[in-house]
Amino acid sequence: MASSFFLLLFLSFSLVCSLVSTKHSVTWTYGINYGRIADNLPAPESVVTLLKAAKVNHIRIYDADHGVLTAFNGSGIEVIVGLPNGYLKEMSTGEDRAMNWVKENVQAFLPGTQIRGIAVGNEILGGSDMELWEVLLPAARNIYGAVYRLGLKEIVQVSSPHSEAVFANSYPPSACIFKPDVVPFMKPLLQLFSQIGSPFYINAYPFLAYKNDPQHIDINYALFKDNRGIYDAKTKLHYDNMFEAQVDAAYSALEKAGFNKMEVIVSETGWASRGDPDEAGATVKNARTYNRHLRKRLIKKKGTPLRPKIPVRAYVFALFNENSKPGPTSERNFGLFKPDGSIAYDIGFTGLVPSSHPLSLLRILQLRDG
């Protein structure tokens, strides 16, 4: 009897260890952002087919659209959903509202749709809406509270993506710190994420850094091509590409803020194949070069010079070009695929149809299904 008890205890302990190990193990490094501000995109069901053909198993969407989440049911593709900025004030005012949102937009689709994270807002801190700065933390806290009470905390991670605007300085990487006006809002947010085991999401774009200062930034350094790189005298580390330098800059800022064990995940990165006339480097050739080298680098599951044992994980922006985006960046193209399912340019994906094929993705699928 005693031996049976200890055997059961051992098996239970092993199961717990297995679950913990699985939760914290790195099984992926390459994901794609699936933005949908466009009027010419294929149906979500066709997008699932496209992603499977490309062997992409991790995506991030910017809302919790029920049609999209239903389409991904049974696909095996892991999804991060977004709580849009417009919902933050509502979610911050009461736990019941956050509970209803999580029930309707996350729990209702589990386990068939593998929702693995909730991105609370996008690029709030460092932005111009100070009211959203105030409500980001309580919104994130209430969303996590709902996730916890529903018993989903081992499945669904809660975090919030930030832009480079939260940093006061990022060159060299070791000098990076959070802006003084951001710190009072960022630090308690990081404390929450540290307590619940969430990563730090950063939208890291060498393209944006280069276009803002093309006279002083070597484009080869931004594009992963051969270059002299930079040397960080404080850490005695050498960087041969800006992407890794941006990731390590985030690690340095976190370390100075007291969160040196928090993982950095790149929630957005990419290169524009077309931009406004004043946007240096926005060409198909550069976009192909950046994204091809980035994909090869991520597949190797390597760390950075500062965190060599933590493989870099990133979501590339974006799956498609979004032709209905408002504002000054509406002319930018970041898409890896065209709406018909063909590749926008070659980085190693095959797409569902050749780039010159006259048939639409939807028609191809109709023919394929008989």
Q: For residue 325, count CB atoms less than 10 angstroms from its CB and return exposed for 0-12, middle for 13-18, buried for 19 or more.
A: middle
Q: Catalytic site residue 104?
A: no
Q: What is the pLDDT of residue 331?
A: 65
- Closest of 253, 188, 263, 266 to residue 23, by C-alpha: 263
pLDDT at 340: 87
The model's pLDDT over 104-154, given as tens digits with 9 standing for 90+, comes to 999 999 999 999 999 999 999 999 999 999 999 999 999 999 999 999 999
Is 230 contained in some domain?
yes
Nearest alpha-carbon partner for 241 in 263, 224, 219: 224
Any domain includes 71: no
pLDDT of 61 reads: 98
Look up the domain containing 314 and give its range. Answer: 25-60+160-355
Q: Per residue in 57-89, pLDDT tens?
A: 999 999 999 999 999 999 999 999 999 999 999
Quick one: average pLDDT of 39-61? 95
- If you average pLDDT over every residue of the chain, what do you get? 89
Residue 21 predicted with pLDDT over 50:
no
Lowest-confidence range among 216-225, 285-294, 348-357? 348-357
Task: Please check whether residue 268 lies inside any domain of the structure.
Answer: yes
Model pLDDT for residues 173-182, shown as the tens digit of each residue: 999 999 999 9
Residue 313, in any domain of the structure: yes
Q: Is the pLDDT of residue 159 over 80?
A: yes
Binned at pLDDT 50, 70 and 90, residue 353 comes out as: low
> Is 111 a domain residue?
no
pLDDT score of 2 more than 50: no
Q: What is the pLDDT of residue 283?
A: 96
Q: What is the pLDDT of residues 223-256, one digit of tens each?
A: 999 999 999 999 999 999 999 999 999 999 999 9
Neighbouring C-beta atoms of residue 55, cutoff 10 Å:
9
pLDDT value of residue 133: 98
Q: How far is CA 357 from CA 343, 345, 349, 354, in A?
A: 11, 14, 16, 5
Of the chain, the percentage scoring pLDDT greater than 90 comes to 81
Q: How many distinct structural domains can be found in the chain?
A: 1
Return the pLDDT at 368.
47
Residue 331 among the catalytic residues: no
Q: What pLDDT does 330 receive?
A: 63
Question: Residues 78, 164, 263, 268: which is the catalytic one?
Answer: 268
C-beta of residue 334 within 8 angstroms of C-beta of residue 317: yes
Give the pLDDT band of residue 13 (cuts 50, 70, 90). Answer: very low
Q: What's the rounded Cα separation, in Å, for the pair 356 and 345?
A: 12
365 versus 277: the higher-pLDDT residue is 277
Q: Does some domain include residue 103?
A: no
Q: Percent of the chain having pLDDT more than 70?
A: 87
How is 253-322 classified by DSSP, letter by letter? HHHHTT-TTPPEEEEEE---SB--TT-TT-SHHHHHHHHHHHHHHHHTT---SSSTTS---EEEE-SB--
- Of the residues 78, 123, 244, 263, only one is catalytic, namely 123
Q: How confident is the model at residue 334 (pLDDT cuts 50, 70, 90)?
A: very high
Confidence category of residue 26, pLDDT binned at 50, 70, 90: low
Residue 233 inside a domain? The answer is yes
- In tens, the pLDDT along 262-279 reads 999 999 999 999 988 778
CATH number of the structural domain spanning residue 318: 3.20.20.80
Q: Does residue 155 fall inside a structural domain?
A: no
